[in-house]
Amino acid sequence: MGETPPLPGAEDKAATPATFPAMRLPIVRFMLTFVGQSIELPAIGGLCLCPLRHQSKPNTSFSSCTRNNQAVMDNERYLKETALLNYSCPSIQQLIRERRWKSLDDFDKIKQTYSFVRDEILFGYNRADEITAEQVLQDGYGQCNTKGILFMALLRAIDVPCRIHGFTIDKELQKGAMTGIVYRHAPQQVLHSWVEVLYQEKWYELEAFILDKAYLNKLQEKFKQCHGAFCGYGVAVKDFSNPAIDWDANNTYIQSEGINQDFGVYDSPDELFKEHHQEMSKAKKLLYEYLGRHLMNKNVNRIRGARVGKYKPQR
């Protein structure tokens, strides 16, 4: 892997909306129907190929000893509470006490909070990207940016340093989770992020907390003939039958093969969202918040099938 991009502030950056040239997938297609509408999903015998990650491949390796040492010395910046990472709120503190995460060693702190965010905070679409960790926990569901906010807040609350890496992904990988008119009017480039955690003086890239196992397992059942690359329904991986989704002091990925644009690393989601945001008109934002995301969540829940218990904070 290449060298990690410079930390924020190393070069001037202007606020950049997530708009980039459209990409195309293979022509062979099949039809599905959702909410009375027929939609096309790219497929070859049920296999969604994903030739997307070619424009700006992330350079995320933290191989430099100098940078590793500097990161260790600068741990405080990666533990700071922010407006979005509001880990002092009562509901997050209560959760940490319930799970006794502070009593664990660093490995199990990461593993257990990662598993919690992946499987007990279900995959779904919140009203916006820029919501607090407290709100994500209250919703009980989220996508890459919002689940990442909660994950970072939990990590920092139990003294595990972490940061965020920003990207865009092509909306093609959301096809199937997004459907019909919602998909057609979605931005071609979608703001995306994963969390990077510092463990034993090494940064690990954690992305696969986005999809809960119950949802992913249903997709694998639906496309059980697929043993290679897959793109769609919120997934973009090289090995669909065995994606790297479990953390055992390793990187995890679930959408990385759909990445187009790499924005680099930031100390917090607050800083990322100051410079990069999802381009949408006011009308589209309102339609998404009050209609589109509810249709998307209904579809995701239908795919997941059996009711799965999500975490509900105690009152």
Which pairing describes strands 37-42 and 122-123: parallel, antiparallel, or unpaired?
unpaired
Give residue 74's pLDDT. Answer: 74
Across 50-69, average pLDDT: 48
The predicted structure's pLDDT at residue 240: 97
Predicted confidence (pLDDT) at residue 257 exceeds the cutoff of 70: yes
Give the whole-angstrom CA distance, residue 29 versus residue 83.
44
Residue 275 belongs to what H/E stretch? helix 269-275
Closest by CA to 243, choosing from 223, 267, 261, is: 223
Q: What local confidence, expressed as pLDDT, does residue 181 receive?
A: 85
**194 pLDDT above the threshold of 50:** yes
Higher model confidence: residue 32 or residue 206? 206
Would the CA dihedral through 93, 86, 78, 208 be positive or negative? positive
Average of per-residue pLDDT across 57-85: 68
Which comes out higher in pLDDT, residue 288 or 131?
131
Q: What is the pLDDT of residues 75-104, one digit of tens each?
A: 889 999 999 999 999 999 999 999 999 999
> pLDDT at residue 37 above 60?
no
- Which of the given ranges, 28-42, 89-103, 176-190, 297-311, has the highest pLDDT on average? 89-103
Q: What is the dihedral of CA 96, 101, 106, 112, to 10 degrees?
A: -90
Beta strand spans in the chain (E):
16-17, 29-34, 37-42, 122-123, 141-142, 162-170, 189-199, 202-206, 230-232, 235-237, 259-266, 276-277
**What is the distance in angstroms between the CA of the first residue and the CA of the last residue of the chain?**
46
Angstrom distance (rounded) from CA 79 to CA 96: 16
pLDDT at 185 over 90: no
pLDDT over 70, % of the chain: 74
| Statement: residue 45 has pLDDT above 80 | no
Q: Which of 200, 262, 210 is nearest to 18 (CA)?
A: 262
Give the pLDDT confidence score for residue 68 in this predicted structure.
56
Q: Which residue has the higher pLDDT, 270 or 14?
A: 270
DSSP state of 289: I
Decide which of 58 and 276 is more confident. Answer: 276
Q: Identify the CATH class of 23-304.
A: alpha beta
Domain extent listing, the chain: 23-304
Mean pLDDT of 164-172: 95
Q: What is the 3-state secondary structure (H, E, C) of 209-263?
A: CCCCHHHHHHHHHHCCCCCCCEEECCEEECCCCCCCCCCCCCCECCCHHHEEEEE
Distance CA 56, CA 120 (A): 32
Round the average pLDDT of the chain to a whole number and report it.
82
Give 307's pLDDT tier (boundaries 50, 70, 90). Answer: low
Q: What's 199's DSSP letter?
A: E
Identify the pLDDT of residue 278: 73
Q: Which residues in 24-179 belong to E strands, given as ranges?
A: 29-34, 37-42, 122-123, 141-142, 162-170
The residue that leads in pLDDT, 130 or 60, is: 130
Burial class from Cβ neighbours inside 10 Å (0-12, 13-18, 19+) for residue 224 reads exposed
